[in-house]
Structure 1
Amino acid sequence: MNIVLDRPRCEGHGLCEEVAPQLMHLDDEGELVLDVENVDKELEAAQAAVRVCPVAALRLA
């Protein structure tokens, strides 16, 4: 399983970071940084991050 970011769609709201800080964070410039290595271990958190994104910039593949 992998988490995919549609970077142009991401507006940097940070809701995904709030529910899955072990998988993603916003850097100093407001860009989302993903830890794709741990998605399988943190699948519930990844699913929650996809659900809370207000602009649907995240998906699981």
Structure 2
Amino acid sequence: MENANSLNMLERAPDKVSGAWVFKGTRVPVAALFENLKDGASIDQFLEWFPGVKREQIETLLE
């Protein structure tokens, strides 16, 4: 994983989603991606359920 690219796709602020890491420009926690994948969801399903997240963000994070 390229840390610099991954961090550009994520953000964290104490006043946003209780300080959890989220996909930049959204309020979608990164943890939601991993929880959904663990439960058997596909990336396409996740993108459908959380339309603010971009495929590029997920692919960069998973690299």
- Smaller-chain TM-score bracket: 0.3 to 0.5
TM-score under structure 1 length normalisation: 0.32
TM-score under structure 2 length normalisation: 0.32
Work out which structure has the larger RCO, using CA pairs closer than 8 Å and 6 or more positions apart in sequence.
Answer: 1
Higher strand share goes to which structure? 1
Higher helix share goes to which structure? 2
Larger radius of gyration: 2
